[in-house]
Amino acid sequence: MKIAVVGATGLVGGEVLEVLDERNVQFDELLLVASARSAGQKKTFKGKEYTVITMEEAVERKPDFAIFSAGGGTSLEWAPKFAAVGTTVIDNSSAWRMSPDHKLIVPEVNASELTTEDRIIANPNCSTIQMVLALAPLHEKYTIKRVVVSTYQSVTGSGKAAVDQMMNERKGVKGEMAYPHKIDMNVLPHIDIFLDNDYTKEEMKMVNETKKILGDDSIGLTATTVRIPTVGGHSEAVNVEFEKDFDLDELKELLAATPGLIIQDDPASNLYPMPLTAHKKDEVFVGRLRRDESQANTLNMWIVADNLRKGAATNAVQIAEYLMTQMTAV
């Protein structure tokens, strides 16, 4: 078993390595891959030093799996080349997510769609992953009619340059600007580019990816995505209208029984999900569960997850683990 981590020198690539270690994923050979300018760098994994190699070298070595965290352009160019030599690519970019020929997977929700013949598999947007994990069991039970979501997303979602900008601002140091405005002590209702409909690309990702993962284009969904100066993870205020009514206690039990979800919902004890406590965790945390008193059959909830973990690295590794199990079973 040979695994390649593409984009190994980036934020998500580093998290992939941590997750592989923590989950004790079994493999015989590890390839750390990055752009030509990063080739030759040294990284340590489980006490062993590795030299970062180029894309060309990695393709020649024909890994069984390649977990990509290197951007959409890189994925569009290189994922097919890896796939052509028999590698299963799990891609963290948006390059393949809405392709009708490629699957968009959150393992707890739709891993059953995967086969060992899939060569390029898309990892959903980080904000979509955590929301869909909570929505899926509710949709199956009560049938979702409409979702209104507002996000509060960590600067880590924009990569190292954004984190550096925020930290420089806190120190009063001038440096590279990842955003068009100051981020520290500020809130930016602007993630990714603005589209012709005045929504951002991030907002439309949440709309389109949710429908694809849940397999239901009839769901009405609208999103406002916002960048905030935190590093622990993404938070979401989600308002869900159902076709059927629900018992709140039964709904909480349903979510509590969902793999990968943890309920933190005790207002009397000030217990609710926060980025600070979700940081470096693989689970999705749900709380502030309450009826929307302004409308029938409608729920409010607050969803938090570490965007570099379940929102990216952990989800990708889980996909690889699922396929490894399928290969072993065959």
Residue 28 C-beta-side C-alpha neighbours within 13 Å: 4
User: Where do the H-state alpha helices sit in the chain?
Assistant: 11-22, 55-60, 72-84, 107-110, 126-142, 160-171, 201-214, 248-256, 275-278, 314-329
279 given a catalytic annotation: no
Q: Are strands 144-152 and 220-224 parallel, antiparallel or unpaired?
A: parallel
Q: Which two tokens stand for residue 239?
A: 């308002």
Q: Find out whether 94 and 68 touch, Cβ atoms under 8 Å.
A: no
Q: Which residues contact 186 (CB under 8 A, 6 or more apart)?
A: 229
Between the CA atoms of 313, 303, 132 and 237, what dihedral angle is there, to the nearest 10 degrees?
-130
102 given a catalytic annotation: no
Residue 289: how many CB atoms within 10 A of its CB?
Answer: 20
Query: d(Cα 81, Cα 100) in Å, to the nearest integer?
Result: 19
Which residue is catalytic, options 102, 139, 234, 279? 234
Q: What is the DSSP string of 77-100?
A: HHHHHHHHTTPEEEE-SSSSTT-T
Residue 121's closest CA among 223, 45, 213? 213
Q: Which two tokens stand for residue 70?
A: 């290197």
Helix pair angle (11-22, 314-329), 10° resolution: 50
Residue 300's closest CA among 241, 257, 245, 260? 241
Q: Are strands 298-305 and 65-68 parallel, antiparallel or unpaired?
A: unpaired
| Catalytic positions | 126, 234
